Chain A
Amino acid sequence: MDLKEKLVSSFLAFEDGLDLDNPVHEVRSAAIKNFEEKGFPSKKEEAWKYTSLNSIQKVDFSIFPKKETALEYKDIKKYFLHEIDTYKIVFVDGVYSSYLSETTHDGVDVCLMSSAFSKPMFRQVIEVYFNKAASKDESLTSLNTAFSKEGAYIYIPKNKMPKKPIQILHLATGNEAALMLQPRNLVVAEDNAEVQIIERHQSLTDNEVFTNSVTEIFAGKDAIVDYYKVQNDASTASLVDNTYISQKDSSVVRVHTFSLGGKLIRNNLNFYQNGERIDSTLKGVTILGDKQHVDHHTLVHHAQPNCESHQDYKGIFGDSSTGVFNGKIIVDKIAQKTDAFQQNNNILLSDKATINSKPQLEIFADDVKCSHGCTIGQLDEDALFYLRSRGIPQKEAKALLMYAFANNVLESVRIPELKARINKLIADKLGVRVGFDL
């Protein structure tokens, strides 16, 4: 039985344990139907031209983890941003771990999707927001919607801000030979609310993990949302991360994606600007080696006038790794005075590495400023020579230049401890100790 069949036939069993009177039941049923029709995307589809999911489909994944596994905080502390106090929503093999988590209902809700689905007090928010930004058409999003049950639920009411940043951590213990996870997150920041979220997926063993995640983010008027994705997973873990963001007037949403580890990662990051004077920022640093494969697929849909978007993705590719950047900007007819900017810069370190870049513009309004730039090149030889002439060894000099290359993406990280952590991850990834402040 291939993975698609397995998933489709498991759906009934999955729903068996859930409340069928819940309106979400119908959403799930429609979604599984769409997935059944479309199946896993293939390379024949333009959107998946450079990324194949064939190898994943051959693995016999467990869809429902069998048992809960207890983990000690000290063993997994390093995967948290432990230097600062945060709320934590932690899942172990897809199951919520109350022991490792720290949730709240103090003015804001930082808790679980499973509670939000079942408890009447959350029903209104679910009705207004759940599956409203996510695609009903894209097959993997539908697959996640069909199996949506657990994940992080974050609701920030009007004018509120949680006391501290929120961390979402998905751990896989390796209790299953191969595990498939489908977390579903919902983030709602009402008018003038503000929230900072850090998300990480971490497999603790070499057993195969495939995560098909969907996150919906809603930013009300004047809301500010910072979302940091730390992708530094084990070399046997693959991730398809679908994020859908819907913004209202004057809101600011910034998504930073740091892709350093993992086997195969596909990020589908979609921004829909449903108001004026919106600011959307998409930034990414990707540093790959071995046979890693990371595919960034971004969409910014400018549907209203006077909005801005800023995209900046930097990639460094070594060994036999493959990087893909596919960025699309759409400017609707009425979205006059749009200012959309997209930049994708890449460095190839090896002749076995590949970069495929496809920056696209689709413009239907005339009074707009839209530009994109893409470069593929090497480290600046003159700069390298300059550093070496000052006594810095070649390897360190290269690392320094690569660090500098990626650095401006880090500038907009607003949690200093996170910035320091990412800096360290980058240094580790580059395999050097650089003699400057991280």
Chain B
Amino acid sequence: MAYTEEELKKELETKEYEYGFYTDIESDTLPKGLNEDIVIAISKKKNEPEWMTEWRLEAFRAWQEMEEPEWANVTYKKPNFQDISYYSAPNKKPKYNSLDEVDPELLDTFKKLGISIDEQKKLAGVAVDIVMDSVSVATTFKKTLAEKGIIFCSISEAIQEHPELVKKHLGTVVPKKDNFYAALNSAVFSDGSFCYIPKGVRCPMELSTYFRINQAGTGQFERTLVVADEGSYVSYLEGCTAPSRDENQLHAAVVELIAMDDAEIKYSTVQNWFPGDKEGKGGVFNFVTKRGLCEKNAKISWTQVETGSAVTWKYPSCVLKGDNSIGEFYSIAVTNNFQQADTGTKMIHLGKNTKSTIISKGISAGQSQNSYRGLVQVSSRADNARNFSQCDSLLMGNRCGAHTFPYIEVKNKSAQIEHEATTSKIGEDQIFYCNQRGIDTEKAIALIVNGFSKEVLNKLPMEFAVEAQKLLEISLEGSVG
């Protein structure tokens, strides 16, 4: 992996959250609060068909009956769901033909995010959909994709243009009543991305979505649906940022992946929502439901680098329904200062000869709490299921905590399950060794942490891996003294 030393140096000097800027764009925001009228209003604003409105209302009614879950190893002041605005769109709703038409301030935002569309186009060949607050503002590379029959657009657009696909798949992997946050999302989601890869097509480029919360007092509830038809392949990237604000912002997304027979989906996330300041003030509450369904011989691979958010509650999962299907979960979760993360995965083995791999690396620093929570479930009909799990924790300092809560439930005698967990720290002798070779302590820590995380970093697409590496270093700034 190439290091750009100067860049690193510069970033090591800037201790504050570097994406904490606010874009001054006029927004069209619904009044705060949530009731059936608001749900209907959201649906109306988006000009949705009646079935969609009805779907949302059903979810809303279910949500009202549900309670916010408390089992996770996190403590926070519960959001007041009536004090959140559930819809905020940049005012000049853009339908751009070229980048020139985009609001220059918005473009500037993208540049600050380090994802200048120009650059992305030229360098990486990544098709990007950017969701800012609630609305998808730009999808590049649409044409190139369309030639292959690939649909990559905002979910709102998909509801208008491809209602049959959305209707068929939406809520099939994460039912609208699945859990408290998923139900909330189903009722009020304002935008997100939709992706369909036709039979036998290998998506020629990485598809990417960037999510950003901008407006104060808004929640972000995006919905992502990726359908990979038989024998197709797609690699999907997701990046998240939010400006630094004093109050907590709520993010409750739902991601559904469907990998049909012989299809493969690789879903990578670099999550860098604002984690709150050094005193633990502000930051994003990240309550996300991500789940993928694997049909026969299909494969879903989740890779995540989680460095942001004040509170994270997230378990990207695989339902291995089809025979010979494969689920993978590679995760790095870094917590510093007062961050709390309760994250992991669920691997549900239903089909025969299904395989899953879980590699989780937790790094805790400051006064943070970092928990791995995972479920490996083998049903009685899932013959020859295989799972390997490895959960490693690295503790930096003596005020943080590392927790491991694996659940293993097996009902089939031919299953082979292996779970390992270790806890370690960065040794003083390791630091001295690096120092002796001319590497200063800060750099030495970065090097050791990168080494610790390597198995996961290696799973990320190249351009994401570099960004992830930088993020790791930034988020551990000043954690060892």
Contacts and interface: CB of A to CB of B under 8 A. Distances in A.
A329 to B, nearest CB: 9
Given A351-B413, A364-B401, A374 B395 contact: no
Contacts of B398: 333, 336, 364-366
A371 B416 CA distance: 20
A336 B423 CA distance: 13
B416 A376 contact: yes
A265 interface: no
Contacts of B410: 346, 348, 354-357, 376
Interface residues of A, number: 35
Contact of B401 (A355, A357, A362, A367): A362
A375 interface: yes
A354 B406 contact: no
Contacts of A364: 398, 400-401
A17 interface: no
Nearest to A354: B411
A42 to B, nearest CB: 15
Contact of B408 (A365, A374, A378): A374
Contacts of B403: 360-363
Interface in B376-426: 380, 393, 395-425
A350 B395 contact: no
A376 B415 contact: yes
Given A374-B417, A377-B417, A365 B395 contact: yes
Nearest to B413: A348
Given A348-B413, A362-B401, A370 B422 contact: yes
Contacts of A365: 395, 398
Contact of A350 (B406, B409, B413): B413
Contacts of A120: none
A371 B393 CA distance: 10
B408 A355 contact: yes
A401 to B, nearest CB: 15
B423 A363 contact: yes
A46 B418 CA distance: 23
B76 interface: no
A362 B415 CA distance: 28
Contacts of B51: none
A363 B402 contact: yes
A212 B424 CA distance: 39
B3 interface: no
B377 to A, nearest CB: 9
A107 to B, nearest CB: 44
Given A348-B412, A366-B395, A366-B397, A356 B407 contact: yes
Nearest to A336: B398
A361 B423 contact: yes
Interface string B357-392: 000000000000000000000001000000000000
A371 B71 contact: no
Contacts of A336: 398
A371 B402 contact: no
Contacts of A373: 418-421
A104 B133 CA distance: 77
Nearest to A49: B407
Contacts of B418: 373-375, 377
Nearest to A368: B423
Interface string B94-107: 00000000000000
A367 B405 CA distance: 21
Given A359-B406, A366-B398, A371 B423 contact: yes
Contacts of B401: 362-364
Nearest to B365: A366
Contacts of A108: none
A358 interface: yes
Given A333-B399, A351-B411, A352-B380, A359 B419 contact: yes
Nearest to B422: A371
A21 B468 CA distance: 68
Contacts of A368: 423, 425
A105 interface: no
13 contacts: A348-B412, A351-B413, A358-B407, A359-B406, A360-B403, A360-B405, A361-B404, A362-B402, A373-B418, A373-B420, A374-B419, A377-B417, A377-B418
Interface of A: 46, 333, 336, 346, 348-378
Given A357-B407, A363-B423, A373-B420, 14 more contacts: A353-B413, A354-B411, A357-B419, A358-B405, A360-B405, A370-B423, A371-B422, A372-B420, A372-B421, A374-B419, A375-B417, A376-B408, A378-B413, A378-B416
Interface of B: 71, 380, 393, 395-425
| Nearest 10 CB-CB pairings of A with B | A348-B413, A376-B417, A366-B395, A374-B419, A357-B408, A361-B404, A370-B423, A366-B425, A377-B416, A371-B422
